[in-house]
Structure 1
Amino acid sequence: MGPGKEANEESVILISDDETDAETTLGNSVVVIDSSDIQEDKSDLEEKKSEEIVDEESGLVVTFCKKGMVMPHARYDCMTHPFERTENETCIPVKQNSDMCGQCYCYVCDKLASECQYWTTSSSCHCNAHNKSKFWKDQRNFTLTGVLIIFNLEPAEIDTDLRHGGELLFKFLRELSIKYNNYLSGEIVLSLQDCVCPSKQTPGPCSVCSRLQNEVIYRYSDVFNLVSLFINKAEKEKPKTAAIMLLGAAREIALHKDPAQSWQNLGPSESLKLAVPFLMSRITKNLQRMLVLSDFPKQLYEKFISFFQTIPLPPYCFKFTNCLNIPSWDHRLLTTVLKGQNITGEQKKNGKKEFLWEVLNVVKARTEKMESMGRYKELVRYLKAVKCNEGVGGDFTSAAYALLLPINNLACCTACRLIPLEFECYLKMFWTGSVPSGKDFQDSDEWILNVGSPVKCCTLIKQALRVLYNNQSLYRNSRCWSTLITILGSSPILEQNGLLTTLTLREPPSSFRQMVWDVSFGILEELRLKGNVSLPSNVFYGSLSLEACFLLAIQAVLQMLITDLPWLTSFLEIMLAFGKNFWALKLFLEGLLYRMPVLHDVVSMITRDLNYQKNTLLKLWQTLGPDYVGELLCLFLSFRNSQLQSVGIFLSHVVIENLNQCPWAKSLDIFRLKAFKRPHLETANHLQLNKFVSILENL
């Protein structure tokens, strides 16, 4: 009991320090002794302070008493103002629950009731909170732990680093919500009155632009930049803080949806389905290193992994599903390997073989930690036993099979985990016998040339197609197909900065083309089903082997368009990958003429891409010159199909709209363009072409 301030007190308050002692205190934290049991007169009290007062009901014995100082207490324990318990009433204060004395504190906020902002606020009403309600207990835990509650952390587990991570994550989520809502709003590129064509006969958009009018595009770049900055910030924080930040960011971006009705090619940072996997890759690589290098408490370590497993990953992020299932340092198999009790890295568990298999990022992190601790014997044992398919040796043909060849267990092969950037880099490595000098594929501005012998084109095309057929995300990515076409149309001699030199392949005789066309269907089907096939030596190993592989790639792209065209983000980059091999592009477009619905969608995608990526196209034209542009125009105008003709007309519009960036336009072959007459061209296309030629003549 605290000391009293005055003599004429009416009661004594005994404060219990056990909140769970509900049976003896009837749910309260205080016991009141009626004043009739206490001597009223101070002098009598002083004289009889040794006398005992016995309460037979409660069993309390009071030998001496003074006025008790009222200590801070929860509102539901206040003896001055009655409290009415309800389960989860948040609309209005119940009866007198909003009344308070000077020592009442809010059960939810854990501060004085007079300082609680939500004491009587509708939809909150903290004045009704008490410790016998699960609802109010959850509210209290959420308030005390903040955003950390999503990690299933107990208040006792939360230290300064975790709390700091929660604060940074909470602030980030508010900023991210604004950016994401702006992304969902989209933007309209063309209105009903706008038209990208230089001239038109009627008001409103022309026939070419009518496909694009009022189309809403969704650019994810602002969200991408914000998340990238947050990851950069997390990389500079302490491990616990960084882990909270990265896991929270991963959960949030995994929930983001692409509102576009069809795939839009806006670039790797502006297309959500390209940007999110890239960000997720950065996040998971950081987390993998933290789980290995940082000494997280075992319970916290497991909660981090469990949290990531609960994230609902979208289909384009399925490859990250098990990326954090990293054995802890006390894992039985890993421990036996490090102690030298298991030299193979294999053991049987429930009758099945278990292997010590880890991704390269984890292997590097474990190596780094054991080196820093001087545990070199354990490191040697580990490196001998661990299995990892991501190492590259000097024999590039063997490396192609080791890295790009799907093995029986597809869950453990590199092919099913590749992203488009890695696929592109591997193909370039095998084709040129060179490797990037940086530690990561993103740091590939400089290359180490001629490390090994380049892989033959027949080996490369087989392995590349096997990867594409076994990795759906790569198969549905236009960049992967454009990479394959670009590689086969380039010289195996690589420049120091990693740039390829494109080649102009000779056009094979029609009989040879037909022969490749005839065998390609069976080859592709066997690669798709069996995963391996022998290419006919009379076709693929002669003087025209490169051209044969090029034709096989064209047929593979055509088959992909028939089944997976709606998944593509772009078609323009596939078209441009042909370079100056216009004979091959013509064969490819002729293959589309037999699939009119597919042709219609392809043309629509090309015109959309041309509108969105004019700057990219103009830079390419500046490099390739008027001969390339003229050949491309004439190629599309040479078809009798009006849809393909419209692509040529659209290309001419791009030139006219950007004459200041096309000083070479006056060098275009006007006489060749004039050769296209009616009825070869549709009337509308013929009129547009005449206007284009007229403008060129006046330059």
Structure 2
Amino acid sequence: MGPEREDSEGSVILISDDETDTEATLGNSVVLIESSENSDLEQKKSEEIVDEESELVVTFCKQGMVMPHARHDCMTHPFERTESETCIPVKQNSDMCGQCYCYVCDKLASECQYWMTSASCHCNAHNKSRFWKDQRNFTLTGVLVIFNLEPTEIDTDLRHGGELLFKFLRELSIQYNNYLSGEIVLSLQDCVCPSKQTPGQCSVCSQFQNEVIYRYSDVFNLVSSFINKAEKEKPKSAAVMLLGVAREIALHKDPAQSWQNLGPSESLKLAVPFLMSRITKNLQRMLVLSDFPKQLYEKFISFFQTIPLPPYCFKFTNCLNIPSWDHRLLTTVLRGQNVTGEQKKNGKKEFLWEVLTVIKARTEKMETMGQYKELVRYLRAVKCNEGIGLRDLRDKIPFYLCKSGDFTSAAYSLLLPFNNLACCTACRLTPLQFESYLKMFWTGSVPAGMDFHDSDEWILNIGSPVKCCTLIKQVLRVLYSNQSLYRNMVCDVSFGILEELRLKVNVSLPSDVFYGSLNLEACFLLTIQAVLQMLLTDLPWLTSFLEIMLAFGKNFWALKLFLEGLLSQMPVLHDVVSMIARDLSYQKNTLLKLWQTLGPDYVGELLCLFLSFRNSQLQSVGIYLSHVVIENLNQCPWAKSLDVFRLKAFRRPHLETANYLQLNKFVSILENL
């Protein structure tokens, strides 16, 4: 029941907000309680008027002032209800008092321009007709009615988006009609006579022919501009704008009877998919990043599903079927209850599969909320058809682990491949990223921002630093896996020190490296660079290389770094390989005695090291070593213990044909021992 209003006329008018048809109000929004005009005012104040039906007690009354009301609730002029009469006013429905409002327009009846207009007749509108209720909703919601939104759901942002969409659709309609008109181009028809004369010379065939070209570029530019505008609006407004324009361009037809060789923005069948891609990517981000009410979220998705997509846009059919944040599979992954992103539903496997745009949006939101552990679980479990994009996002998993305070797991995850076909994150580290990780692992601190470049401000002591022994092992493994880091950091530092040693007598070596826990490894790296420089400058004076190679012992990581340093100087590499071959010919006995001491594991690692290179010359060294074993099986009883399975793995296409055949022969002999 609404407010009670009074005036000096001696009546009370009660305004009701309830539109339900009850016996008390008889479907009206006004209840009139009469009182006697002849009774004294003081007597009215003391009397009680009781309305038993509505259980209303009035202790004071005077004539009420007529309040604004819908025409069908007017107490002055009778109203005749009909379901959907729009041709002419029914009986006295067009009559009105000064406070009658149009039910459809929600404005004074005297101001309604459709009050008695044929085919509209708003004077017949009332709240008990489905037809008139729909008319009212359409008038109040405008273009938003296509989204099946109730008036109570429409807020300022939605209304603003609807207004912009309505204005744009009128502009788009004009531009689309211009497109359908086409552009007439005159072309000369070729001669079809048997003589095949040149155009313009045959009087029979040469004639001008009208060709209509349909260029969609003006429509494309208009829609692109509107999408740009939508991207700057608030999420609700933008969603309404983008969904509305998506439906509109999906309905556009290409009137050309045959294929016309036009550009990407001029051809409708090329331009519309491009525009639809922009629209759907924006909507995907909004559905993930914006906290739309659940009912509005579902209505947006349902609306897109009702769009009649043309065949050249079928790939967008399910692009907005995005699991909400409370989806069961997604929540189990985020909580750590499901590490694979797979589950069985109705006997079938279901995967956490999402497009890259959605994955990026979820990553952005979890970064903003500081949900780093959840983000790591999500990136490890989610699947996507854009492998490179997903790999780039997964490369930040060690960084997110650091942000969560788990520095040890971060150090190990740098070298953890996600599957058998992918390489590890360490392979793609830049020197800046490597230095940032070292600082994080050593200090237990992280950059304040979400980027490695945000190094000006750091958050200190958010977790336990990585233990020294673990840090040394992981750092060396990273350098072993990343040639760029090795060349940019190890070589630069080592060459700088060696150059200083050459030019000066007293040299101060970096104390934090050469006198700390990394002193042995640092000296080893420095020695490698020294030998490399000796080879590059004094190779003509070097007569043997086998002793240098054997001096590395079981430090195969260092030997590999050393050999990789020779790859940039092919003439030097050729000479080194020649010396190795000569040494193996003359010093077989020395080598065999050493192998008896070191055992099959050492020999297997040495063979695999040379076979792992893509350089055919280094591969040949491994093949030559295998010949030494074959030719001296009586002195190599340990040969049957060589890892045949691992050697088989090196029979890959990167091996030269001759080396491939020789390795096959060696493996066959080992298998028969």
Structure 1 residue 71: Cα displacement = 0.5
- Tell me if the contact between 2:5 and 2:12 (Cα under 8 Å) persists in the aligned partners: no
C-alpha distance in structure 1 between counterparts of 2:168 and 2:583, whole Å: 34
In structure 2, the residue corresponding to 1:370 is in which secondary structure? helix
Structure possessing the higher relative contact order (Cα contacts under 8 Å, 6 or more residues apart): 1
Structure 1 residue 121: Cα displacement = 2.1
- Tell me if the contact between 1:637 and 1:644 (Cα under 8 Å) persists in the aligned partners: yes
C-alpha distance in structure 2 between counterparts of 1:261 and 1:410, whole Å: 48
Q: Which residue of 2 aligns with 1:396?
A: 407
Structure 1 residue 50: Cα displacement = 2.9
Structure 1 residue 60: Cα displacement = 6.7
Higher-Rg structure is: 2
- Tell me if the contact between 2:366 and 2:372 (Cα under 8 Å) persists in the aligned partners: yes
- Tell me if the contact between 1:558 and 1:592 (Cα under 8 Å) persists in the aligned partners: yes
Structure 1 residue 4: Cα displacement = 12
- Tell me if the contact between 1:389 and 1:403 (Cα under 8 Å) persists in the aligned partners: no
Further displaced range: 303-312 or 184-193: 184-193
Could you tell me which of 568, 580, 605 is aligned with 1:631? 605
Residues 676/348 of structure 1: CA separation in 2 closer, same or farther (3 Å cut) = closer
In structure 1, the residue corresponding to 2:388 is in which secondary structure? coil
Q: Which residue of 1 aligns with 2:516?
A: 542
- Tell me if the contact between 2:250 and 2:308 (Cα under 8 Å) persists in the aligned partners: yes
C-alpha distance in structure 2 between counterparts of 1:107 and 1:470, whole Å: 76
Residues 649/308 of structure 1: CA separation in 2 closer, same or farther (3 Å cut) = farther
Could you tell me which of 359, 364, 368 is aligned with 2:360? 364
Structure 1 residue 421: Cα displacement = 34
Q: Which residue of 2 aligns with 1:509?
A: none
Structure 1 residue 610: Cα displacement = 70
- Tell me if the contact between 1:151 and 1:304 (Cα under 8 Å) persists in the aligned partners: yes
Structure 1 residue 584: Cα displacement = 53
Residues 374/592 of structure 1: CA separation in 2 closer, same or farther (3 Å cut) = closer
In structure 2, the residue corresponding to 1:35 is in which secondary structure? coil
Further displaced range: 67-76 or 323-332: 323-332
Residues 342/464 of structure 1: CA separation in 2 closer, same or farther (3 Å cut) = closer
C-alpha distance in structure 2 between counterparts of 1:611 and 1:598, whole Å: 20
Alignment deviations for residues 226-283 of structure 1 (CA, whole Å, 9 cap, x no partner): 0000011111111111111111111110011111111212211111111100100111
In structure 2, the residue corresponding to 1:189 is in which secondary structure? strand
Alignment deviations for residues 380-425 of structure 1 (CA, whole Å, 9 cap, x no partner): 1111111112123999999999999999999999999999999999
Alignment deviations for residues 446-482 of structure 1 (CA, whole Å, 9 cap, x no partner): 99999999999999999999999999999999xxxxx
Residues 80/92 of structure 1: CA separation in 2 closer, same or farther (3 Å cut) = same
In structure 1, the residue corresponding to 2:50 is in which secondary structure? strand
- Tell me if the contact between 2:69 and 2:100 (Cα under 8 Å) persists in the aligned partners: yes
Alignment deviations for residues 6-26 of structure 1 (CA, whole Å, 9 cap, x no partner): 998475433333222432222
Over the matched positions of the two proteins, sequence identity in percent amounts to 91
Residues 351/69 of structure 1: CA separation in 2 closer, same or farther (3 Å cut) = same
C-alpha distance in structure 1 between counterparts of 2:15 and 2:152, whole Å: 25
Structure 1 residue 82: Cα displacement = 1.4
Q: Which residue of 2 aligns with 1:411?
A: 422
Further displaced range: 227-236 or 420-429: 420-429
Structure 1 residue 312: Cα displacement = 0.7
- Tell me if the contact between 2:343 and 2:349 (Cα under 8 Å) persists in the aligned partners: yes
What TM-score, normalized to structure 1?
A: 0.52
C-alpha distance in structure 1 between counterparts of 2:650 and 2:87, whole Å: 77
Residues 516/289 of structure 1: CA separation in 2 closer, same or farther (3 Å cut) = closer
C-alpha distance in structure 1 between counterparts of 2:444 and 2:612, whole Å: 40
Structure 1 residue 433: Cα displacement = 39
Residues 9/392 of structure 1: CA separation in 2 closer, same or farther (3 Å cut) = closer
- Tell me if the contact between 2:5 and 2:13 (Cα under 8 Å) persists in the aligned partners: no
C-alpha distance in structure 1 between counterparts of 2:566 and 2:528, whole Å: 11
- Tell me if the contact between 1:3 and 1:68 (Cα under 8 Å) persists in the aligned partners: no
- Tell me if the contact between 1:476 and 1:568 (Cα under 8 Å) persists in the aligned partners: no
Structure 1 residue 93: Cα displacement = 1.8
Structure 1 residue 127: Cα displacement = 1.2
In structure 1, the residue corresponding to 2:565 is in which secondary structure? helix
C-alpha distance in structure 1 between counterparts of 2:46 and 2:483, whole Å: 88
Further displaced range: 126-135 or 534-543: 534-543
Further displaced range: 451-460 or 285-294: 451-460
Residues 366/93 of structure 1: CA separation in 2 closer, same or farther (3 Å cut) = same
Alignment deviations for residues 655-698 of structure 1 (CA, whole Å, 9 cap, x no partner): 99999999999999999999999999999999999999999999
Alignment deviations for residues 144-200 of structure 1 (CA, whole Å, 9 cap, x no partner): 111111111122221111111111111111110111111111122128999999999
- Tell me if the contact between 2:116 and 2:122 (Cα under 8 Å) persists in the aligned partners: yes
Residues 203/210 of structure 1: CA separation in 2 closer, same or farther (3 Å cut) = closer
Structure 1 residue 363: Cα displacement = 1.4
- Tell me if the contact between 1:208 and 1:646 (Cα under 8 Å) persists in the aligned partners: no
**Structure 2: stretches of 5+ with no match in the other structure:** 390-404
- Tell me if the contact between 1:120 and 1:127 (Cα under 8 Å) persists in the aligned partners: yes
Aligned length: 658
Further displaced range: 552-561 or 387-396: 552-561
Further displaced range: 26-35 or 2-11: 2-11
Q: Which residue of 1 aligns with 2:648?
A: 674
- Tell me if the contact between 1:400 and 1:430 (Cα under 8 Å) persists in the aligned partners: yes
In structure 1, the residue corresponding to 2:191 is in which secondary structure? coil
Further displaced range: 672-681 or 98-107: 672-681
- Tell me if the contact between 2:10 and 2:62 (Cα under 8 Å) persists in the aligned partners: no
- Tell me if the contact between 2:191 and 2:197 (Cα under 8 Å) persists in the aligned partners: no
Root mean square deviation of aligned Cα: 24.4
Structure 1 residue 353: Cα displacement = 0.3
- Tell me if the contact between 2:49 and 2:57 (Cα under 8 Å) persists in the aligned partners: yes
Residues 382/474 of structure 1: CA separation in 2 closer, same or farther (3 Å cut) = closer
- Tell me if the contact between 1:25 and 1:31 (Cα under 8 Å) persists in the aligned partners: yes
- Tell me if the contact between 1:284 and 1:324 (Cα under 8 Å) persists in the aligned partners: yes
Structure 1 residue 439: Cα displacement = 18
C-alpha distance in structure 1 between counterparts of 2:13 and 2:558, whole Å: 95
- Tell me if the contact between 2:472 and 2:518 (Cα under 8 Å) persists in the aligned partners: no
What TM-score, normalized to structure 2?
A: 0.54
Residues 257/122 of structure 1: CA separation in 2 closer, same or farther (3 Å cut) = same
Structure 1 residue 535: Cα displacement = 60
- Tell me if the contact between 2:82 and 2:124 (Cα under 8 Å) persists in the aligned partners: yes
Residues 589/526 of structure 1: CA separation in 2 closer, same or farther (3 Å cut) = same
Further displaced range: 178-187 or 521-530: 521-530
Residues 468/658 of structure 1: CA separation in 2 closer, same or farther (3 Å cut) = same
Further displaced range: 158-167 or 408-417: 408-417
- Tell me if the contact between 1:263 and 1:568 (Cα under 8 Å) persists in the aligned partners: no
- Tell me if the contact between 1:186 and 1:216 (Cα under 8 Å) persists in the aligned partners: yes
Structure 1 residue 47: Cα displacement = 3.8
- Tell me if the contact between 2:284 and 2:357 (Cα under 8 Å) persists in the aligned partners: yes
Residues 465/568 of structure 1: CA separation in 2 closer, same or farther (3 Å cut) = farther
Residues 67/294 of structure 1: CA separation in 2 closer, same or farther (3 Å cut) = same
- Tell me if the contact between 1:192 and 1:205 (Cα under 8 Å) persists in the aligned partners: no
Further displaced range: 412-421 or 328-337: 412-421
Structure 1 residue 372: Cα displacement = 2.1
C-alpha distance in structure 2 between counterparts of 1:44 and 1:156, whole Å: 46
In structure 2, the residue corresponding to 1:442 is in which secondary structure? coil
**Structure 1: stretches of 5+ with no match in the other structure:** 478-514
Structure 1 residue 104: Cα displacement = 0.7
- Tell me if the contact between 1:461 and 1:549 (Cα under 8 Å) persists in the aligned partners: no
In structure 1, the residue corresponding to 2:210 is in which secondary structure? coil
